[in-house]
Chain A
């Protein structure tokens, strides 16, 4: 009888201890999950805050960041899939800001090209005007109605040159910095060529002068 009572008592104590242990265990587990949840929540909050800061930096940037860097950052934030309404709105604003910057860059580039073309056209006009006088003299030899007139115009034109032997180079083809020339001739022979052939297939491309202002080299280009 006493033995049975003892046995029951021990069992009861065991069950109480077991229940206490299980209860304790459950309580510990619940606490760990809570901590993990809290940690995850804190991490998400931190990530969201960082994303917001980065997106605001993109939105408010005044040209310090490159477009590619901005696009990479937005893509990185999008990939996080934070599902935060504020972040989503900032993403839209950041994409809009990037597009605006792209358009502005394109506009500036187009403006730059337009300006360059205008400058080149102006230079070409200046060069054409600069050599117009020499071209006119060459043309006057071609247009001469008589042999005497042609010879007189040749003599007149030769006065602008350092000597009748001044080299004349005729570019037949050019590609980047490479120039292909016809066989070099002299100004006297070239003027006689114009007189004989009654045609001027070339225009002045470049002129070199000496200290006395006389031409020492004439470069022509096929029209």
Chain B
């Protein structure tokens, strides 16, 4: 009896998933292009963070890049910050995080992101948006003088939202995919 109930539930779920997939009407090639676009936004963020953190970047340039970086995020998105010296992960608004990054008390800061990949594919939600999770590894190096004073490697999960939108340009309607990054959560911190 219990088994038959499970089978019925699974069948209903299967029917709904097939229906949802057929309604998408997105070819695998098109989906791949959207996946790549979201990955590229994360790579762009990685570069922006390294520019903002870089002590050689002029203050005005860093502020301009902060504005560009904020355009990548949803309103109210948070960034998780961890340290090997404390177990607690603190969450800041993106602007606060970037401004704190810019003001870090090191002579030299090097931030590098690598192994950027999906851990959860973009899936269509009932509100029409696609949501996925991209994971990255961040290596942070802070130096004072010639001495490397702090190093850590953090694994972070970034929620990605992709939404189909329209805008009018030159008198015609343009359909575009708006990729926005949500919260960035720390999942692992190692020296």
Binding site for B on A (CB under 8 A): 147, 167, 169, 172-173, 175, 179-184, 189, 192-193, 196-198, 201, 208, 216-217, 222
B61 CB contacts on chain A under 8 angstroms: 147
Q: Is the CB of B176 within 8 A of A217?
A: no
B30 CB contacts on chain A under 8 angstroms: 173, 175, 180
21 residue pairs of the A-B complex, CB under 8 angstroms, read A167-B170, A169-B174, A173-B34, A175-B29, A179-B175, A180-B33, A180-B175, A181-B175, A182-B179, A183-B165, A183-B178, A184-B167, A184-B169, A184-B176, A189-B68, A192-B68, A196-B65, A196-B68, A197-B44, A208-B170, A216-B170
Q: Is the CB of A147 within 8 A of B58?
A: yes
Query: In terms of DSSP, what is the predominant structure of the interface of chain B?
Result: helix
A151: nearest chain-B partner, CB-CB: B61
B163: nearest chain-A partner, CB-CB: A183
Report the separation of the CA atoms of residues A180 and B29 in the bound assembly, to the nearest whole angstrom.
12
Task: Name B179's contact: one of A179, A183, A208 (CB within 8 Å).
Answer: A183
Q: How many residues of B contact A (CB 8 A)?
A: 27
Give a binary string over B115-158; 1 marks a CB under 8 Å from any A CB, 0 the rest.
Answer: 00000000000000000000000000000000000000000000
Assess whether B40 is interfacial by the CB under 8 Å rule: yes
Assess whether B27 is interfacial by the CB under 8 Å rule: yes
Q: Closest approach, in angstroms, between the C-beta of B116 and any C-beta of chain A?
A: 14
Task: Name B48's contact: one of A181, A183, A196, A201 (CB within 8 Å).
Answer: A196
Q: A172-B33, A180-B176, A184-B169 are in contact. List 5 more A-B contacts (CB 8 A).
A: A147-B61, A172-B34, A173-B33, A192-B64, A217-B169
Assess whether B51 is interfacial by the CB under 8 Å rule: yes
